[in-house]
Amino acid sequence: MIAPTPSELEILNILWKSGEATTQIVNDQLNLTRPVGYTTTLKTMQLMTEKGLLDRRKEGKSHVYFALSDESKTKSHLLDKIIQTTFGGSTSGLLMQLFGNKAVSQDEIVQIRAFLDGMEDKNHG
């Protein structure tokens, strides 16, 4: 599994959401959050393509990029890593931290409840 760097993850998040996009579009999206030069984004996406994180197809004079790495697998892997390094491998340690010290909105609690309901149904059925 190839772990993306922070910058690469930003780009992956954009491509996972939009399915595919040109460098221009990705760069515009990035610049909604922070300033970054066009060629910087281009270079990063080229490196990601070499690494096998992305692939691309030619369209007119530009390239259209799309993610090869699986969203769920990648995020799961990143999560495992922080559980390992920050919480000594303990998933419940992470949960305690999350619930014990962080404000979680009512909406999110509702969402989490619904999710747990679904899981329990699965377990019982």
Question: Tokens for 89?
Answer: 């491998």
Instruction: Check residue 13 for interaction with DNA (CB under 7 A).
Output: no
Cβ-based nearer residue to its own copies, 24 or 99: 99
Cβ-based nearer residue to DNA, 86 or 111: 86
Instruction: Check residue 57 for interaction with DNA (CB under 7 A).
Output: no
Angle at 58 between CA 52 and CA 59, to 5 degrees: 140
Binding site for its own copies (CB under 8 A): 6, 9-10, 13, 72-73, 75-76, 78-80, 82, 85-88, 90-92, 94-102, 104, 106, 108-109, 111-113, 115-116, 119-120, 123
Strand partners, 22: 64
For residues 109 and 70, give the distance between their C-alpha atoms in angstroms, rounded to a whole number: 27
Residue 125: CB minimum distance to DNA, A? 41
Cβ-based nearer residue to its own copies, 19 or 88: 88
For residues 121 and 103, give the distance between their C-alpha atoms in angstroms, rounded to a whole number: 28
Question: Tokens for 35?
Answer: 């300033």
